[in-house]
Amino acid sequence: MSPFVGELVGTMLLIILGGGVVGGVVLHKSKAQHSGWIVITIGWGLAVTMGAYAVGGISGAHLNPALTIALATIDRFAWADVPLYIVAQMIGAFLGAVIVWLHYLPHWKQTEDKGAKLAVFATDPAIPNTLGNLLSEIIGTFILVFGILAIGANKFVDGLNPFVVGLLIISIGVSLGGTTGYAINPARDLGPRLAHFLLPIAGKGTSNWSYAWIPVVGPIIGGVLAALFYKIVFLA
Given this model, what pLDDT does residue 70 score?
Answer: 98
* 71 touches 62 (CB < 8 A): yes
Question: What are the residue ranges in the chain where pLDDT is below 50?
Answer: none
Q: State the Cα torsion 37-40-45-50 to the nearest 10°.
A: 170
Q: Name which of 141, 160, 108 is nearest 219 in CA terms.
A: 141
Given this model, what pLDDT does residue 35 score?
Answer: 98
Given this model, what pLDDT does residue 55 score?
Answer: 97
Q: Report H helices in the chain.
A: 3-26, 37-59, 65-73, 82-103, 107-110, 114-121, 130-152, 161-176, 186-198, 214-234
Given this model, what pLDDT does residue 130 score?
Answer: 98
- List C-alpha distances in Å: 194 to 4, 41, 94, 152, 160: 21, 23, 7, 33, 34
Given this model, what pLDDT does residue 38 score?
Answer: 98
Given this model, what pLDDT does residue 157 score?
Answer: 79
- List C-alpha distances in Å: 41 to 18, 64, 99, 216: 9, 17, 20, 20
pTM (two decimals) = 0.97
Given this model, what pLDDT does residue 155 score?
Answer: 82
